[in-house]
Amino acid sequence: MTPILYSFRRCPYAMRARLAIAVTGVAVEWREILLRDKPAAFLAASPSGTVPCLVTDQGVIDESLDIMLWALRQNDPEGWLDMPDEGWDWIARADGPFKRSLDRVKYAVRHEATEVAAARAEAVRFFDDLEAQLGDWMFARASLADYALLPFVRQFAHIDTAWFAAQPWPRVQAWLARFETSDRFGAIMEKRAVWVGA
Ligand SMILES: N[C@@H](CCC(=O)N[C@@H](CS)C(=O)NCC(=O)O)C(=O)O
């Protein structure tokens, strides 16, 4: 059976799963769903009810990072897994503290002003460090870390594009701009009809 990928176009977790699947060329059946109207087949398959969710003969993979690794372990033409160990620390920081800050800044109205200010300060530290880390990529060449982080960096930048553009992070801005204008990103953001069930 061809593995099934349940996805939602604008979800950054789903984006990174689709990016890894795209680079590896591993075949999946892409089922685009709506989070406000989750199909029964998705809810039956997904333990967490979140996207992305990959259904294979061997079982269900419910975490985007695990879906990336599943694809890359089958085929890794650009050597994304050939990443220094620090890459894992970056991914953990992005998925943990940075993602929490991102949600607080993005949904600021739901939080106390002091909490939002602390979250923004945390995000600024993250971007200052990322700026120091980056050349063209985070390491000598493109790796899992770049593609695991970029959809979230993009989401943060889009909260307030003018503010983001005014920050002293030229490498982060260039890295993000290259990603957003890449054919690879274009391909994974192509609009798909919503899957309505078999
Ligand atoms: N840890 C999960 C998180 C996935 C996640 O939180 N996805 C969000 C969308 S961006 C979701 O599906 N939320 C469920 C909902 O909105 O009902 C992963 O890495 O795949």
DSSP string, 13-54: HHHHHHHHHHHHT---EEEE-BTTB--HHHHHH-SSS-S-EE
Counting ligand 1 atoms within 8 A of each CB, the residue from 6, 13, 91, 103 with the most, and so the one to mutate, is 13
The pLDDT assigned to 197 comes to 79
> Which atom of ligand 1 lies at the shortest distance from residue 11's CA?
10
Q: What distance in angstroms lies between residue 31's CA and the mean position of ligand 1's atoms? A: 15
Ligand 1 neighbourhood includes 50 CB (under 6 angstroms) = yes
pLDDT, tens digit, 9 for 90 and up, residues 104-151:
999 999 999 999 999 999 999 999 999 999 999 999 999 999 999 999
pLDDT digits (tens, 9 = 90+) for 4-54: 999 999 999 999 999 999 999 999 999 999 999 999 999 999 999 999 999
Where exactly are the structural domains of the chain?
4-78+184-188, 86-182
**Residue 53 · residue 6 · CB < 8 Å:** yes
Going by DSSP bridges, is the β-strand pair 29-32/4-7 parallel, antiparallel, or unpaired?
Answer: parallel
In this predicted structure, what is the pLDDT of residue 196? 87
- For the CA of 67, the nearest atom of ligand 1: 20
Which backbone phi and psi does 163 adopt, to 5 degrees? Answer: -60, -45
CATH for the stretch 86-182: 1.20.1050.10
Ligand 1 contacts CB of residue 46 (under 6 A): no
Ligand 1 close to Cβ of residue 91 (< 6 A): no
Average pLDDT of the residues of the chain: 97
Banded pLDDT at 198 (limits 50, 70, 90): low
Contact assessment for residue 138 and residue 90, using Cβ atoms and an 8 Å cutoff: yes
Q: Which residue has the tokens 């406000």?
A: 36
Ligand 1 atom 2 nearest Cα: 63
- For residue range 58-115, what is the model confidence (pLDDT) as tens digits? 999 999 999 999 999 999 999 999 999 999 999 999 999 999 999 999 999 999 999 9
- Homologous superfamily of 4-78+184-188 in CATH? Glutaredoxin (3.40.30.10)
Q: Which amino acid is at 23?
A: V
Q: Which atom of ligand 1 is nearest to the CA of 65?
A: 19
Nearest CA to ligand 1 atom 8: 50
